[in-house]
Amino acid sequence: MLSQLEFCLEDRLCIWRVSGTATVKEICDGYAERFNHPEWTPVLESLTVINKLALGGFTPQAAGEIMQFIRDCDLKHKRAAKRSALVCSDELSRALLAYWEHRAKNELERSERAFATEAEARAWLVGAREADEKSACA
């Protein structure tokens, strides 16, 4: 699995680009890398860009294991972000991510959405955060 982290502090985003074949452990380890990065802060929203990631082993059990790991990491590191976006241009993989979105509402206690393009995902994350900030000031 190829894994690359980027940070866009202006938009308050942690961008994780993943591709290749991955095991549950590799996905979990890749997710956890952000917490050791000097630019990471608890308020960053997550933007995961999936490019040709083999999701053949993505079963309900695997999803549960990954979600539990993510939840534990987020709690341990006091992650406060309310939402996360997943980008995947492959329609079949995006269909699997619809299952992830549904489970994430309850298990991760945040809003997760899948998008076909990075621009759509960024617009949703930044727009939703700005709307939250405006309503908090009102």
Q: What is the pLDDT of residues 99-122, one digit of tens each?
A: 888 888 888 888 899 999 999 999
Q: What global pTM score does this model have? A: 0.89
How many independent structural domains does the chain possess?
1
Burial class (CB in 10 A: 0-12, 13-18, 19+), 127: exposed
CB 25 within 8 A of CB 42: no
pLDDT at 124: 95
Q: How large is the C-alpha radius of gyration of the chain?
A: 14
* Average pLDDT of the chain, as a whole number: 89
Q: What is the CATH number of the domain that holds 49?
A: 3.30.750.24
85 or 100, greater pLDDT: 85
Q: What is the domain extent for residue 79?
A: 2-137
Q: 136 or 20, which is more confident? A: 20
